[in-house]
Structure 1
Amino acid sequence: MDNNALGPGHATVVSCGIFRPEIEHLARQGRFPWPVRFLESMLHMTPSLLEAEITRLIGSLDDGPVVLLFGDCHARMSEHGSLPGVRRVRGVNCCEILLGPERYHRMLRDGVFFLLPEWTSRWEDVFIRRLGFADSRLAAQFMGEMHTRITYLDTGVTAVPLVELERIGHFLGLPVTVEAVDAAALVRVVEESTGDGGADC
């Protein structure tokens, strides 16, 4: 299959589960017309398993082109995106995919640590059980060496979890801000990959 032959409306999107709430919301509104296969977002914690699952899923989708809605989430991700009939959306990670490169890099230079809704609800699993920061003081010391604040990216799909964000900020020793982002950015990046400009954002 020619890698340039991703026709409008015919691709299957393989997406990180971190975008599931936003994509399902957009799909209910008729704004995300592509079929989607989600992979568990916690696979990012074990890149080799993520690579294996993406490889398996691409291999199972033999009825049309594939768009990968992922950033540089494991070391061989660019190889996935160069396979025949497969494209990957622009963006080094999920935050840049939503924010766009200019806004993302500006915030990154300011020392922002980003949180998305799906991982915010699972922050204890990420930081305490998987990264091993059972001691808040160690977590705060580690985060403070690289970051100036935590910014929650509010996609407008779920209510901002203010109480949980306060807990996270206290545990990680950083102030928390909320930044509005447009969930329809997910539509636009897939359109760019497929050449389909027909979805109404």
Structure 2
Amino acid sequence: MTKPPVLLGCGILQKEIEYLIKKNAWPLSTDFLAASLHVNFEKLASELQQGLIRHQDEEVIVFYGHCHPKMEHIVAVNCCHRTQAQNCVEMLLGPELFSEYLTQGAFFLLEDWVLNWDNVIIETFGNKPDITREIFQLSHRYFLGLRTPCSGDYTEAAEKISVAMGLPLRWLEVDLVQLESVLKRAIQHNQ
């Protein structure tokens, strides 16, 4: 009996992915990495390489978008397949909706990012709230919190971020149809 493929990648949508695996009875095991790795290319490459080594005798589907400048090279060198999308938000919303909100100036918030905001922001920008606020205000018009059927209630934490960064907060209820489609294509490509 052969081992099921391993989905190795970002844990930002771990609850949603685990739900879809169970719902579809996909023969797929998972190895999720910290969602905060995308802000540190060196750590992301290192953790992903370590994961690929852990699963070197298995079929691997890499669950990442273009989160590292050498992502395609990492995937190709390790003879595995990657989910096809720019990033996890595009996987969740689909390319058209993702582009539409991005064009409107949205900065997307997902539960894990919000709950780990301080650690990620300090690692990225340092402990400089005024500079961080200015960067967000120059780059974005609003925060768009994405709620999936698997999300917990992170409203209060998102509202604190909104106030701290001086940007309004909007919400979007998101189903898992697009994410399910991305995962199905990746699994089919791997067969």
Report the TM-score when normalising by structure 2.
Answer: 0.86
- Where does 1:3-42 land on structure 2 (aligned, <5 Å)? 10-29=4-23, 31-42=25-36
Shift of 1:29: 4.0
What is the letter of the counterpart of residue 176 of structure 2? A
- Where does 1:37-186 land on structure 2 (aligned, <5 Å)? 37-83=31-77, 85-128=79-122, 130-135=124-129, 137-186=130-179
Shift of 1:45: 2.5
- Give unmatched runs, 5+ long, in structure 2: none
Residue range with higher mean Cα deviation, 110-119 or 54-63: 54-63
Equivalence for 2:184? 191
Helix, strand or coil for the counterpart of 2:13?
A: helix
- Give unmatched runs, 5+ long, in structure 1: 1-8, 197-201
What is the letter of the counterpart of residue 46 of structure 1? N
RMSD: 2.2
Helix, strand or coil for the counterpart of 1:82?
A: helix
Is the CA contact (8 Å cut-off) linking 2:10 and 2:63 kept in structure 1?
A: yes
Instruction: Give aligned pairs, total.
Output: 187
More helix by share: 2
Report the TM-score when normalising by structure 1.
Answer: 0.82
Relative to 1, partners in 2 of residues 1:124 and 1:62: Cα closer, same or farther, differing over 3 Å? Answer: closer
Identity within the alignment, %: 28
Is the CA contact (8 Å cut-off) linking 1:64 and 1:85 kept in structure 2?
A: no
Cα deviation 1:134-176 (Å, max 9, x = unaligned): 43x4333221111110001111212332211211110011000
What is the letter of the counterpart of residue 154 of structure 1? R
Cα deviation 1:42-75 (Å, max 9, x = unaligned): 2223211211221222133233321111011112
Residue range with higher mean Cα deviation, 15-24 or 87-96: 15-24
